[in-house]
Amino acid sequence: MKNYKIIAVIPAYNEEKSISSVLRDVKKQVDEIILVDDGSGDKTSEMAEKEGACVLKHLINRGQGASLRTGTEYALKRGAEIIIHFDADGQHQIEDIPKLIKPILKDGMDVVLGSRFLSPKSNTPWLRKIVLKMGIFFNYLISGIKLNDAHNGLRALSKKAAKLIDIRQDRMSHNSEIVQKIAQYNLSYQEVPVTIFYSSYSRNKGQSSLNAFKIVWELLWARISR
Ligand SMILES: Nc1nc2c(ncn2[C@@H]2O[C@H](COP(=O)(O)OP(=O)(O)OP(=O)(O)O)[C@@H](O)[C@H]2O)c(=O)[nH]1
Ligand SMILES: [Mg+2]
């Protein structure tokens, strides 16, 4: 099982408060970590280097989607067989990583998506729950795929899936884009329960619920301007 090279790609924007402990934890579960510093103005990069992560830097802030694209491309160059997308803000749990990897290794799954709604331990705020349920419906409309969660940044991609899913949406719309591309390339997928923990830190830093409108617009625009 351990012959597979597993690389975690961690997008980070001004995460100096959480990054060291996240990296120390993730290191226990993967072979390598690629941290993409998305134009942070704080010590995110320095702290990540201290923890031994391979740090790639965007000179300006480009968004989580662009960071994942940068990191995923490099992970493939480094010979990753499985790529884990993991957030830098401490909301994801390392115990969930083996659950994401298993369906790829055991059943040859292409993509494994984390679902916070399949885990009773997630403490998702009510407004975020409503927005995410709308996101689930939106993803269904654009892809025909009905999931239990939307916009969950914790996922695992096989090498094949990572090569096919070239993320073009720089900001938060990449989550829906990934679902759309799973359908487009007819990739196999599975959802597994993962716990997303909303702390006061992540709530203050995290996304505004109004971003949902921006995501819908960005994806519609991508279709119109194609
Ligand atoms: N906000 C933000 N995060 C970024 C950016 N680039 C990379 N990230 C990283 O992307 C990850 C997710 O960002 P969040 O803003 O927490 O998004 P989220 O977890 O989907 O949303 P919440 O449910 O509100 O926490 C974190 O590890 C961020 O550090 C960026 O431009 N803006
Ligand atoms: Mg977050």
Atom of ligand 1 nearest to the CA of 198: 25
| CATH number of the domain where residue 47 is located | 3.90.550.10
The pair of structure tokens assigned to 159 is: 């090498």
The domain in which residue 182 lies consists of 6-224
Q: What is the pLDDT of residues 130-163, one digit of tens each?
A: 999 999 999 999 999 999 999 899 999 999 999 9
Residue 130 lies in a domain: yes
Residue 95 lies in a domain: yes
Residue 205 lies in a domain: yes
Percent of the chain with pLDDT over 90: 85
Burial code (b: 16+ CB inside 10 Å, e: under 16) for 19-29 equals bbebbebbbeb
> What is the pTM for the complete model shown?
0.94
Residue 1 lies in a domain: no
Average pLDDT on 68-82 reads 98
Torsion of CA 62, 66, 72, 74, to 10 degrees: -50
Task: Ligand 1 pocket test: pick from 47, 85, 87 the residue with the most ligand atoms within 8 Å of its Cβ.
Answer: 87
Instruction: Report whether pLDDT(200) > 90.
Output: no
Residues with C-beta less than 6 Å from any ligand 1 atom = 11-13, 15, 38, 61, 63-64, 67, 87-89, 91, 151, 153, 202, 205-207
Query: 175: closest CA among 125, 212, 210, 225?
Result: 212
Give pLDDT, residue 2. 56
The packing angle between helices 211-224 and 174-184, to 10°, is 40
Residue 89 lies in a domain: yes
Q: Cα 198 from chain centroid? A: 16
Comparing 14-23, 129-138, 147-156, 200-209, which segment has the lowest mean pLDDT? Answer: 200-209
Q: Cα 60 from chain centroid? A: 20
Residue 161 lies in a domain: yes
Give the H or E element holding residue 51.
Answer: none
Instruction: Report which protein residue has its CA nearest ligand 1's atom 15.
Output: 206
* CA 3 to centroid of ligand 2, rounded, Å: 31
- The tally of domains found in the chain comes to 1
Residue 98 lies in a domain: yes
Comparing 64-73, 88-97, 207-216, which segment has the lowest mean pLDDT? Answer: 207-216
